[in-house]
Amino acid sequence: MESLKIRDLCKTYIINKRQNNVLKNVNMEIKEGEMVAVMGPSGSGKSTLLYTVSGMDHITAGRVDFFGKDLSSLNAKQMSDLRLDEMGFIFQQMYMLKNLSIYDNIILPAYQSKRGKGRENRKEINDRAKELMHKLGISEIAEHDINEVSGGQLQRACICRSLINNPKMIFADEPTGALNQQNSKEVMKELNRINREGTTVMLVTHDMKVAAKSDRVLYIEDGNIKGEFTLGKYTGKEETRERERKISNWLMEMGF
């Protein structure tokens, strides 16, 4: 089943009375359980694509189906609920509330969701947050402020937060962009594990090493998908170098 089906997607911004066509008739599908990376030069429309297909930004024309729901048919409240309950987001800039601890930042989206009402449900949410933090190796920073932890720890906390509502799909925009190589590896390890457990992932990246760990890579240029490369599921570090070599050769062919 397709988790995401995009048909003739266009996104136009009007700047100083001039049209800027950022996305032009994009067609793509992401199957349930897939991990798909989007690559392309700066200004090619990568992040705009991620924001429009996840309903964070309005589409100008075309159709986006998310697990059978036509996003353009939803009103602002329905779209907000869908993003909260069925989507998870990870960004390069790690947006967290400064006045809350790491743990409170993680549980907040679940407390705001439909299932966050009532004491029993909140106990379940608290238990899930603790389990996620344990899985990602950050239990010890639960009560820390966000400025008391490393960038890698903070990004793993953002992954916990993105998973707290059991989303059908994770959207990640340059999730390793602000991290050093070791922290980048740790974050990708977690995203691969989440994906193997069944969560669909779409990520935007400029990093070949990150793209090499996805099932499929889409190449976008001038607002249109110019090619795709299928790698299959990533199974472990012994195949990393070979996958990186294949991606590197393909990206050279694409003119990256």
Domains and CATH numbers, the chain: 2-254 (3.40.50.300)
Cα–Cα dist 17/35, whole Å: 38
Specify the 3-state DSSP secondary structure of 44: coil
Q: In whole angstroms, how large is the CA radius of gyration of the chain?
A: 18
Under DSSP, the state recorded for 224 is E
pLDDT at 203: 96
Instruction: Specify the pairing of strand 169-173 against strand 87-91.
Output: parallel
Quick: pLDDT tens for 45-82: 999 999 999 999 989 999 999 999 999 899 999 999 99
Q: In a 3-state reduction of DSSP, which class is residue 99?
A: coil
More confident residue, 237 or 157: 157
- pTM tops 0.85: yes
Nearest residue to 100 (alpha-carbon basis) of 132, 141, 131, 139: 141
Q: What is the pLDDT of residues 134-180, one digit of tens each?
A: 988 899 999 999 889 988 888 889 999 999 999 999 999 998 887 88
For residues 28-54, average pLDDT: 94
Which ranges of 136-256 does DSSP label H, i.e. alpha helix? 151-163, 181-196, 208-211, 240-254
Backbone φ and ψ of 7, nearest 5°: -125, 125
